[in-house]
Amino acid sequence: MSNQNIQKGRLSAAEIEENFTDLHPPLTRSEALIEADRCYFCYDAPCTTACPTGIDIPGFIQKIRSDNLRGSADTILRENIMGGMCARVCPTEILCEEACVRNTHEEKPVEIGLLQRHATDPVFENNVQLFTRAERSGKKVAVVGGGPAGLSCAHRLAVLGHDVLVFNKDSKAGGLNEYGIAAYKTIDEFAQTEVDYILSIGGIELRHDTALGDDIELSDLCADYDAVFLGVGLGLSNDLGIEGEQLDGVVNAIEYIKDLRQAEDKSTLPVGRDIVVIGGGMTAIDVAVQSKRLGAEQVHMVYRRGPEKMSASAFEQALAQTSGVTLHFSASPATIVGDGHVSGVDFNVDGSDEGMHLAADIVFKAIGQKLNNGGLDSLEVSSGRFIVDEHQKTSMDKVWAGGDCVVGGDDLTVSAVQHGKVAAIDIDRFLRKA
């Protein structure tokens, strides 16, 4: 990105390190006990109903209250093997904590996410193995995708005694947990710590840098394995489809976040002075906030609808605003302008004849992703995603799917983990009958 306003080291390494500390620091033991004591331990537990993975939330909180952290972690991880990551990145404010009966205008909800992290962190830090593999079944399953859905499926299958080979297109496992989440949400290489824990059950082999459609074919996997699970995510970024999109300085947000996540020294990353982020989801929030924390002077985030339509939660919107990001609504990009390198964006604004112009030396596209359907034409799709039944079974024999690539997905880690778990249980049922 050749522009004099795009520089490395806008902030010192020390300033950047401070800006990328843990967004939600962990609870101390005394804080956790006080917070656990706020739980009413509801019999019908609306928080559990609101959790996509069905964790017994009052149950694990009760165990924290009695100082049984191992038992608490066991309750969590048996339903959600990525309970540690979900404790960090799950939008609890619109799931379990929104359903908490304490969540009124007078009271805040029980801090379920922080309590979940308090229970699970010791398990990952000390590699406390809570699972035992069943006797080997002699069956082998191919899992395509090393993200939350694929790893969840692989772990449950391994626990049930099956052998699993995970084909992962990246050089590290973890998917968006490793490459696509804001760096201040998960620090200290936690994504890989969690991957290592999942693999420690045994029976799972990882094969990196292997992409479906390029290095392997679905038909071959179906011939060579007893079952196949697809957790391939949405590998292609959507285009804006407007003039100027090909200018230097127009960047896919997910690619920049990936570079940031993998950077050993964040002060070496090029940072613009004036940033425009186009989009209204979590990726848009993440790249906007991180740009400010890297030293950008002006960051504008522009969404084509109103704030109530944003897929990013109210908490994330507030985080962006308190981080110095300016949010604009009901505005759609019309033209990206510049001479070789981007210099600004013209927007059409609902109810305005004049529109809006924002100066920019970097424009981040964060308008969602789409399925890379290479080698998968034999599967039924709708709206660009695989059609699956209630057991995550696709239209093809021996093939299941889950995560962002399936119809009805909400692009959340916790939902992907549930898809993988449900699929593994059904695959096991299928293999036992075969």
Q: What is the mean pLDDT of the chain?
A: 95
pLDDT at 2: 62
Residue 218 sits in a domain of what CATH number?
3.50.50.60
pLDDT at 1: 61
Domain boundary among 77, 95, 125: 125
In a domain, residue 61? The reply is: yes
Same domain, 230 and 377: yes
Domain boundary among 344, 368, 392: 368
Token pair of 253 as six digits: 């947000």
Same domain, 179 and 281: no
Residue 68 sits in a domain of what CATH number?
1.10.1060.10
Same domain, 379 and 309: no
In this prediction, residue 225 has a pLDDT band, given cuts at 50, 70 and 90, of very high
pLDDT in tens, 43-72: 999 999 999 999 999 999 999 999 999 999
pLDDT at 121: 97
Same domain, 200 and 153: yes
pLDDT in tens, 139-188: 999 999 999 999 999 999 999 999 999 999 999 999 999 999 999 999 99
Structural domain of 33: 29-125
Q: What is the mean pLDDT of residues 71-99?
A: 96
Cα separation, 111 vs 38, in Å, equals 9
In a domain, residue 7? The reply is: no
Total domains in the chain come to: 3
Q: Is the pLDDT of residue 287 over 90?
A: yes
Cα separation, 23 vs 255, in Å, equals 22
Same domain, 68 and 175: no
Token pair of 355 as six digits: 């529109």
In a domain, residue 113? The reply is: yes
Same domain, 411 and 390: yes
In this prediction, residue 380 has a pLDDT band, given cuts at 50, 70 and 90, of very high
pLDDT at 28: 97
CA–CA distances in Å: residue 108 to residues 185, 350, 358: 21, 36, 38
Same domain, 286 and 381: no
Domain boundary among 322, 341, 368: 368
Same domain, 82 and 33: yes
pLDDT at 235: 84
Q: What is the mean pLDDT of residues 123-147?
A: 96
Cα 31 to the center of its chain, rounded Å = 27
Q: What percent of the chain has pLDDT over 90?
A: 89
In a domain, residue 13? The reply is: no
Q: Is the pLDDT of residue 383 over 90?
A: no
Same domain, 154 and 88: no
Same domain, 166 and 226: yes
Q: Are 74 and 121 in contact (CB under 8 A)?
A: no
In a domain, residue 200? The reply is: yes
Burial (CB count within 10 angstroms: exposed 0-12, middle 13-18, buried 19+), residue 107: exposed
Residue showing tokens 């804001």: 182
In a domain, residue 15? The reply is: no
In a domain, residue 194? The reply is: yes
In a domain, residue 131? The reply is: no
pLDDT at 105: 80
Give every CB contact of residue 410 below 8 A, 6+ residues apart in sequence.
none
pLDDT at 394: 97
Token pair of 283 as six digits: 């990726």
Same domain, 242 and 364: yes
pLDDT at 377: 78
Give the pairing type, strands 381-382 and 369-370: unpaired
Token pair of 280 as six digits: 């209204």
Same domain, 362 and 248: yes
Instruction: Find residue 86's DSSP bridge partners.
Output: none
pLDDT at 107: 93
pLDDT at 349: 96
pLDDT in tens, 6-44: 888 899 999 999 999 999 999 999 999 999 999 999 999
